[in-house]
């Protein structure tokens, strides 16, 4: 890769990804995102290496959860390209980037199949009580833990968001013999979705679902989409599964619903306050929790690395980005 650019990394990065970026000629410097709180970050950085990196970084690596704000962009005088590691970019201020002539790229369609697999695993784990049963048998239990449990076959699935991930989840659920309903702003008529029932209202979808699975983008448009009302509609035999973003669910309302038996259970891979998980969720037996890992598999990781490198190479070669989020006028790439 030409010009040995400096990439400021704001996220936890797998060793495999770091090694491949370095092998491709990308120089990397890790920095805590809080060090870029505002435009005075350069003046207040206490570490000389951080000061040098903030002053010269042309590339930033982040993700949808960590994001990059307008103030953080302002603190990076040489910034040209923001790369989201993965499909999500909800906390990157794309408008501010575009106004500053900063390109934003992401890595769509790289981990969707893995997310869909994980969603089905969560559905089975929470409905069949697998975590509790595993613990019970390892502790010597048996007969008192053999009560019948709900299963997927013949149940009703409601998917919120029918993009690539939502559709992959629905296809897998159909293989289990589930009926499919979904919520999007407009009905989908392409592919197998023409046979599935569209709901314009999430509460109505929840009312008609045994499993409500969230596979929609995060951000302001879906903030607390799953509310007290939606949970009440899902009902005491219903399960909530979230592989979308923590912000989609009103966490306080969810905890109350789980404690009061308003819904049967929940399986969560994402949280509003991650990596912090509310203690109430950690204490409940009718909840299955995983650490935002639904999109992580060896194949998905490699696909994300490949797209990241493709975006960086395209930018440095003054070519269209492989997966652009915005369109910027001119070219800030230094020669």
Q: Which of 99, 110, 109 is nearest to 326 (CA)?
A: 99
DSSP codes, 169-214 = HHHHHHHTT-EEEEE-SS---SGGGGGSEEES-HHHHHHT-SEEEE
Q: Which residue has the tokens 């000061």?
A: 51
Residues 6+ apart with CB under 8 A from 279: none
Contact 107, 308 (CB under 8 A): yes
Alpha carbon distances (Å) from 138 to 42, 131, 135, 206, 329: 54, 11, 5, 35, 61
Three-state DSSP class for residue 138: helix
DSSP conformation class of 111:
S
Give strand ranges (E) for the chain. 6-9, 27-30, 59-62, 81-84, 103-105, 156-160, 179-183, 197-199, 211-214, 239-242, 265-268, 287-289
Q: Can you read off the two tokens belonging to residue 23?
A: 């092998």
Contact 304, 17 (CB under 8 A): yes
**Pick the catalytic residue: 118, 207, 245, 315?**
245
Residue 274: active-site member: yes
**Pick the catalytic residue: 29, 292, 296, 313?**
292
Contact 248, 216 (CB under 8 A): yes
**Pick the catalytic residue: 18, 149, 188, 274?**
274
Q: What is the largest CA-CA distance in the chain?
A: 72
Contact 76, 52 (CB under 8 A): no
Q: Output helix, strand, coil percentages for the chain, rounded to the nearest 5.
A: 40, 15, 45
**Residues known to be catalytic:** 245, 274, 292
């Amino acid at each position: 890769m030409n010009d040995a650019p400096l990439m400021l990394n704001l996220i936890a990065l797998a060793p495999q990804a770091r090694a491949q970026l370095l092998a491709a000629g990308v120089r990397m410097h890790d920095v805590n995102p809080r060090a870029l709180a505002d435009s005075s970050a350069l003046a207040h950085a206490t570490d000389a290496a951080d000061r040098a990196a903030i002053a010269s970084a042309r590339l930033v690596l982040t993700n949808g959860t960590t994001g990059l704000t307008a103030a953080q962009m302002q603190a990076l005088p040489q910034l040209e390209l923001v790369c989201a590691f993965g499909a999500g970019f909800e906390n990157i201020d794309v408008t501010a980037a575009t106004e500053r002539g900063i390109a934003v790229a992401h890595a769509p369609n790289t981990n969707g199949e893995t997310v869909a697999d994980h969603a089905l695993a969560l559905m089975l784990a929470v409905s069949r009580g697998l975590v509790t049963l595993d613990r019970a048998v390892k502790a010597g239990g048996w007969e008192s833990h053999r009560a019948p449990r709900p299963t997927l076959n013949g149940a009703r699935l409601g998917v919120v968001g029918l993009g690539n991930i939502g559709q992959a989840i629905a296809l897998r659920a159909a293989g289990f013999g589930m009926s499919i309903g979904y919520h999007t702003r407009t009905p989908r008529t392409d592919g197998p979705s023409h046979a599935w029932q569209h709901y314009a209202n999430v509460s109505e979808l929840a009312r008609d679902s045994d499993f409500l699975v969230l596979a929609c983008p995060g951000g302001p448009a879906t903030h607390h989409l799953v509310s007290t009302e939606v949970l009440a509609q899902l009902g005491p035999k219903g399960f909530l599964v979230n592989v979308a973003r923590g912000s989609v669910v009103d966490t306080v309302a969810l905890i109350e619903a789980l404690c009061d038996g308003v819904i049967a259970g929940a399986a969560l891979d994402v949280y509003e306050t991650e990596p912090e998980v509310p203690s109430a969720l950690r204490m409940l037996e009718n909840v299955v929790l995983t650490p935002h890992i639904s999109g992580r598999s060896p194949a998905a990781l490699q696909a994300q690395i490949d797209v990241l490198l493709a975006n960086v190479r395209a930018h440095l070669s003054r070519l269209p980005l492989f997966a652009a989020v915005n369109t910027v006028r001119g070219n800030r790439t230094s020669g």
